[in-house]
Amino acid sequence: MRRDEESILSYVTNTKGATRHVTLIDPDKQSPQVAADRACVAIESGSAMIFVGGSTDTPDEIVHATCVAIQEGLELRAFAASQSPDGDEEKWKVPVVLFPGGSHALSPAADAITFMMLMNSTDRRFLVGEQVRGAPYIDKFGVDALPTGYVVCHPGGKVGEVGSADLIMPDDIDLVKAYSLTAAMYGFKLFYLEAGSGADKQVNPQLIESASTTEGLTIVVGGGIRTSEQAKTAADAGADWIVTGTLTEDATDLTDLAQKISSICTALNN
Ligand code: 1GP
């Protein structure tokens, strides 16, 4: 949902010292309606942004239908909140942001896109190739580009393989600092440390600490985070945003999802 007074980039980068939670919805993993229900439960439970993406080969139409359904769900909730004396309409005005696997997974119904360079890829395609293919569409759609340096850390999972990443190892403290400096010097605003979806180990908190000392970057961390303790570890190390995806897919139902996300969101800033 587009926010009126504030740009999406300033919403994302101005976290006011708190760590916030992003729910990642992979459009390949459920129908658009179920995606919308999950997104609404996530926001109700404390998430502050929705990412749509993940899989590498989801067609545009599915990504678009998922974005449309999520936007409609959030708008309905915002309207309902506006009609209720103690409703919080603003809570529902969160950005729906594309988190693309490539230039194919785009939709004009999204508010923004993490416009990423996979900085430690050895393949030109993920450094600049997909970006050059996607940029004209993003421009035409009027979707805001959030300039993002994206690095894949060990174990890296599927994105590490598909993206031909020269993985950052847990003890590469100086290397991750150098990547974060490079990201800042390029003018990227977000720096995303990714362990890979479903990773059995989250990003080493020392890597997060190292990157977070670089001025001017909003630190996003994802991959393998399932518990409030893990989320808190990443937050204490300096993450501004924590992303979870598998947790949503593994929830037994919407009540279970609500409990899991609220326990993470409560832990983040305590
Ligand atoms: C987004 O890939 C992550 O950065 C999501 O990882 O699926 O392990 O939560 P999970």
Task: State mean pLDDT over 119-138.
Answer: 96
Query: pTM for the full model?
Result: 0.97
Rounded Cα distance, 87 and 243, in Å: 26
Per the domain annotation, does 12 fall within a domain?
A: no
Helix axes 32-44, 60-82, angle to 10 degrees: 40
- Ligand 1, atom 2, residue with closest C-alpha: 197
Per the domain annotation, does 5 fall within a domain?
A: no
Per the domain annotation, does 8 fall within a domain?
A: no
Per the domain annotation, does 81 fall within a domain?
A: yes
Rounded Cα distance, 145 and 139, in Å: 9
Gap from CA of 79 to ligand 1 centroid (Å):
31
Whether ligand 1 lies within 6 angstroms of the CB of 172 is answered as no
**Rounded to 5 degrees, what angle do the CA atoms 175, 211, 117 make?**
75
Gap from CA of 202 to ligand 1 centroid (Å):
9
pLDDT at 70 > cutoff 80: yes
Whether ligand 1 lies within 6 angstroms of the CB of 222 is answered as yes
Tell which atom from ligand 1 comes closest to the C-alpha of 54.
Answer: 2
Per the domain annotation, does 108 fall within a domain?
A: yes
pLDDT at 1 > cutoff 90: no
Q: Is 3 helix (H, G, I), strand (E, B) or coil?
A: coil
- Give the sign of the dihedral formed by CA 112, CA 18, CA 47, CA 116: positive
Whether ligand 1 lies within 6 angstroms of the CB of 26 is answered as no
pLDDT of residue 118: 97
Whether ligand 1 lies within 6 angstroms of the CB of 23 is answered as no
Tell which atom from ligand 1 comes closest to the C-alpha of 194.
Answer: 4
pLDDT of residue 206: 98
Domain count, the chain: 1
Per the domain annotation, does 31 fall within a domain?
A: yes
Q: 53: domain range?
A: 18-264
pLDDT of residue 142: 93
Gap from CA of 247 to ligand 1 centroid (Å):
8
Whether ligand 1 lies within 6 angstroms of the CB of 261 is answered as no
Alpha helical stretches, state H, 83-141? 124, 130-141
pLDDT at 181 > cutoff 90: yes
The residue type at 259? Q
Gap from CA of 223 to ligand 1 centroid (Å):
4
Quick: pLDDT tens for 240-256: 999 999 999 999 999 99
Which residues have CB under 8 Å from 243's CB, separation 6+? 21, 22, 24, 51, 220, 221, 222, 223, 225
pLDDT of residue 215: 97
pLDDT of residue 4: 56
pLDDT band, residue 101 (cuts 50/70/90) = confident
Tell which atom from ligand 1 comes closest to the C-alpha of 249.
Answer: 7
From residue 113, alpha-carbon distances to 9, 22, 135, 157 in Å are 10, 14, 11, 22
Per the domain annotation, does 9 fall within a domain?
A: no
pLDDT band, residue 105 (cuts 50/70/90) = confident
CATH of the domain at 116: 3.20.20.390
pLDDT of residue 148: 98
Per the domain annotation, does 218 fall within a domain?
A: yes
